[in-house]
Amino acid sequence: MTLTDMFAAFSFYFIPILIGSGLKLLPRVIKSHKYSERDFGESVFFLGSSFILGALALFVGAISIDYFYEGDFIKIYSNLIFILLGLAILTIFLYVLRNKINFNINKLGLSFLVVILALITYSTWRADARTNTTLNWDLYHHQVLANKIKRGEFEIVTSNMSDTFQYDGYSTIFHLLLATPKILFKTDILNYWWFLEFFHLSTTIAISYAVAYFFTNNKHVGVFGMFFGAFIFESTGAYTSLFLIPQNLAATIGALFISYYVFKKDINKHQILRVDLVIISFIVYILLNHLIIGTFCIVFLMAVKVYLTIKSRFNIVKTDAVLAILAVIATIIILLLISRIDLNWINRGEAAFYNFDLATKFKFLHNFYGISLYIFLPLGLFYILRERESKKIILLLFTFAAFALLLGQIPYTFKLYSVGRYFTNAFLALGVWVLIKGQKEGISILNTIMLGFMLFIIFILNTVGFKQTPSYKELATHISENEIKAAEFLKKNYSNNSNVMLVSDPSTMQILEPLAEVNTPGGAYATTDTREVLNKIYLTRENDSITNNLFLIKDLVETTKPTKILLAVSKRLEIWENLSDERKYGIFYNVWAPADLDLQDLAGFGFTDFLTNYTRFNTVFANDTITIFEVSRLEPIF
């Protein structure tokens, strides 16, 4: 079972890459092509661009099936996957037959290093979070959409599929990719995600190498970049390396593409960025994957184009210095303008919670990097200013822009840093290299180990801080064994039934909905109206009033009115009910960790006891963490 989960997780990347590779190699099979040896970074880019093409092929296929075909979506979509995979394998086979592919020991060594670093980081990260636990809160609402797609309910727009998504920041391409392996393999959701995030981490490490290498054309810097990529974890806001969510996937691919295009442009030959199929597919994919991160990546890419165009066409004395100063001035002006606009209202006031003051931001940066930022960044800066090489100047400007954005008084800047972290890590890697270049091989290896050890210690301490919140018994998790049992019960008895709605505090709804496959009104993103009802039922404690109020709750997507409501009562609900109004009604706060019933509840003083003894709610499931009640609508529906 676990092997299947692991292979299914691997397939999240493998299926699109295989299909995309077939598409990319097809012209080279038809027309004779000379195989050229690539660096590891370029191979990573090949896989990244293949992933994009494959993902787009699957998404276009799914849209076509949904639009043109009335029948069983899953059946046709499965056939499409098999056909595309078959054609891709045939193309790759023919390509390999026609080209002599050399074995490259360097690439193998670097691949091995990626795996080793990923294993060290992930086993440390998951030391107290085994396969049936989660540390990524967002996976639950993404899984809700993946479940729907797996059932054949495909839509392009997220808010049409579930009211957990009330803001369309991205299409369902990410969720289609999530669902694709689950359509082919029978998997356990939590195990699947556990392995999936390992593969996500591996890709971010490989791409960290590629970004550092592309900007500096130096394999040593690439390797140091890999270490920074593995051990620097943005434990607030971005969570780039360890959480697979649309913004992080988009940022990772975006950083790879931007750096590759910097690498590929030889400004001495007066070349400028050409708009080709690869770049068009990148732009389309990145916007579908995440609108805001995608837009930022495109802005970065355009900045590269503008910079290189000016640099190659106009022979201004000290062009780099002039451009750098202009870029810095432009960034400051834009930041000042944006900072004057009140953006705290975004996402029902959630934005205000993510609008940190400067001292807090520096504290977070210290958690991520320690003071390595203040030591290696100036060294990198000194080197770049001395060398004045265009690619490194671009890296400098990007890192500067990322930090300017991060430190600006704008909400969500730490989320946007998921792109910026790749540039910063490359910059830091360059700073390390400046300090230890020229040493003998043995000392270089020793230095690399020392660097890795230092970053590893920072990673552990950063992780300790992060795990203070999702902490339950000896585990770090958002979900407990008892909650999983409750979800299994619900799945067995109520799943995919449009007449039933599961209601509880937002956190319990968030974790149970994807695992139980029972609809909830918005999960952790429940509306203010729903939250008011939850508040009212806890305080009223009157039988009919509770029932009537519960049936007033509306799902924003599901049109069928439920005839039965399942009310999940747990310690989480009680904790939520006793929160301040700001936390209770704001979507920024959740009861992140599981909580078990205490003496008050067990001895019969709690809400559970009241519902059991004084209402017509039927207990259908109970354990030491959660009790689930079932109640039917009082009046018939007309």
Partner 1 sequence: MWKNKLFWMELTFIFAIVFILISYKLPQGKVMYKKTGRYVIGTYDYGLFISQASNDYFYNVSPLDFYIKNGYSISDKKNYLLAQNNNYNKTNSLPKIEQLYYSIASYFSLTQPFALFDSLNENVKLTSSTKDDVVRFTLISPNKNLSDKNIFMTMSFNENDLIIDNNGYMYTKINEYEKAGLKNLYDIEIRDINDISQTILSIDRSAEFIVIINKNMPGLIKISNTDNAYKLGNIDKEKMLISIAVQNSEQPFFEINFQERLQ
Gap between the Cα atoms of 269 and 287, Å rounded:
31
- Residue 238 Cβ, how far from partner 1 at the closest point, in Å? 19
CA distances from 4 to 1, 74, 140, 181, 484 (A): 5, 20, 21, 10, 20
Q: Does 474 bind partner 1 (CB under 8 A)?
A: yes
Please choose, out of 137-145, 254-262, 353-361, 431-439, the segment that lies near partner 1 by the rule CB under 8 A: 431-439
Structure tokens belonging to residue 11: 């397939």
> Which one of residues 326, 332, 603, 637 is an interface residue with partner 1 (CB under 8 A)?
603
Provide the minimum distance between the beta carbon of 250 and partner 1 in the complex, in angstroms, as a whole number. Answer: 30
Q: Which of 313, 318, 473, 561 binds partner 1 (CB under 8 A)?
A: 473
371 or 552: whose CB is closer to partner 1?
Answer: 371
List the structure tokens of 180. 């694709």
Least Å distance, CB 464 to partner 1, is 5
The span from the CA of 94 to the CA of 18, in Å, is 14
Question: Could you give the residue ranges of the DSSP H alpha helices within 169-245?
Answer: 173-184, 189-216, 219-231
Partners of residue 569 on adjacent β-strands: 627
Identify the residue among 26, 267, 375, 620 touching partner 1 (CB under 8 A).
375
Residues 6+ apart with CB under 8 A from 519: 498, 500, 501, 502, 513, 555, 558, 562
| 436 belongs to the binding site for partner 1 (CB under 8 A) | yes
Buried b (16+ CB within 10 A) or exposed e, 404-432: bbbebbbbbbbbbbbbbbbbbbbbbbbbb
Cβ atoms of 338 and 410 closer than 8 Å: yes
Note whether 359 binds partner 1 by CB under 8 A: no
552 binds partner 1 (CB under 8 A): no
**Segment lying near partner 1 (by CB under 8 A), choices 7-15, 31-39, 438-446, 529-537:** 438-446
> 65: which 2 tokens?
């099936």
Total binding residues for partner 1 by CB under 8 A? 44
φ, ψ of residue 157 in degrees (nearest 5): -100, 130
- Alpha-carbon distance 124 to 121, whole Å? 5
Q: Is 119 in the site for partner 1 (CB under 8 A)?
A: no
| 613 is an interface residue for partner 1 by CB under 8 A | no
Interaction between residue 247 and partner 1 (CB under 8 A): no
Counting contacts by CB under 8 A, is residue 435 touching partner 1?
yes
Closest to partner 1 by CB, 112 vs 605, is 605
Decide whether 247 or 367 has the Cβ nearer to partner 1.
Answer: 367
Nearer to partner 1, 329 or 443 (CB): 443
Using the rule CB under 8 A, which residue among 344, 471, 497, 499 binds partner 1? Answer: 471
* CA 61 – CA 76 distance, rounded (Å): 10
Helix H or strand E encompassing 631:
strand 626-632
> Is there binding between residue 465 and partner 1 (CB under 8 A)?
yes
What values do phi and psi take at 350, rounded to 5? Answer: -60, -35
Q: How far is the CB of 569 from partner 1 (least distance, A)?
A: 15
Helices (H), 467-588: 481-494, 506-516, 528-540, 543-550, 571-577, 581-585
Please report where in the chains the tokens 């030391």 appear, as a residue: 127
Return the H-helix or E-strand segment holding 632.
Answer: strand 626-632
Q: Over 330-343, what HEC string results?
A: HHHHHHHHHHHCCC
Shortest Å, Cβ 19 to partner 1: 41
Q: Where on the phi/psi map is residue 33: left (φ > 0), alpha (ψ -120 to 50), or beta?
A: beta
* 449 counts as binding partner 1 under rule CB under 8 A: no
Nearer to partner 1, 207 or 455 (CB): 455
- Separation of CA 346 from chain center: 20
Q: How many helices (H) and strands (E) does the chain have?
A: 26, 6
**What value, to the nearest 5°, has the Cα angle with vertex 488 and ends 486 and 490?**
70
* Choices 10-18, 19-27, 444-452, 537-545; region in contact with partner 1 by CB under 8 A: 444-452
Q: How far is the CB of 465 from partner 1 (least distance, A)?
A: 4
Residue type, 548: N
Tell me how far, at minimum, the Cβ of 212 lies from partner 1, in Å: 18
State the nearest-atom distance from the C-beta of 413 to partner 1, in Å. 22
Minimum CB distance to partner 1 smaller for 347 or for 424: 424
343 near partner 1, rule: CB under 8 A: no
Q: What are phi and psi of 471, to 5 degrees?
A: -120, 125
Find the binder of partner 1 among 464, 552, 634, 637 (CB under 8 A). Answer: 464
- The only residue of 454, 579, 620, 622 in contact with partner 1, by rule CB under 8 A: 454
From residue 128 to residue 167, the character string flagging contacts with partner 1 as x (rule: CB under 8 A) and all else as - is x---------------------------------------
| CB nearer partner 1, residue 558 or residue 609 | 609
| Part in contact with partner 1 (CB under 8 A); list of ranges 167-175, 324-332, 381-389, 449-457 | 449-457
Q: How far is the CB of 242 from partner 1 (least distance, A)?
A: 16
Could you tell me the smallest distance in angstroms from the CB atom of residue 442 to partner 1?
A: 12
Please give the residues from 561 up to 600 whose contact with partner 1 meets the rule CB under 8 A: 571, 593, 595-600
Interface with partner 1 includes 313 (CB under 8 A)? no
Q: Report the distance separating Cα 140 and Cα 561, nearest Å.
A: 24
CA 398 – CA 328 distance, rounded (Å) = 10
Binding map of partner 1 across residues 376-415, x = CB under 8 A, - = no contact = x---------------------------------------
Nearer to partner 1, 261 or 368 (CB): 368
Binding piece for partner 1, criterion CB under 8 A, among 70-78, 163-171, 249-257, 448-456: 448-456
428 lines the binding site for partner 1 (CB under 8 A): no
Q: How far is the CB of 372 from partner 1 (least distance, A)?
A: 5
Stretch that binds partner 1, among 239-247, 290-298, 460-468, 507-515 (CB under 8 A): 460-468
CA count, 13 A, side-chain hemisphere, 166: 16
- HEC assignment per residue over 360-400: HHHHHHHHHHCCHHHHHHHHHHHHHHHHCCHHHHHHHHHHH
Binding site for partner 1 (CB under 8 A): 127-128, 366, 370-372, 375-376, 432, 435-436, 438-439, 443, 447, 450-451, 453-454, 457-458, 460-461, 463-465, 468, 471-474, 571, 593, 595-600, 602-605, 624
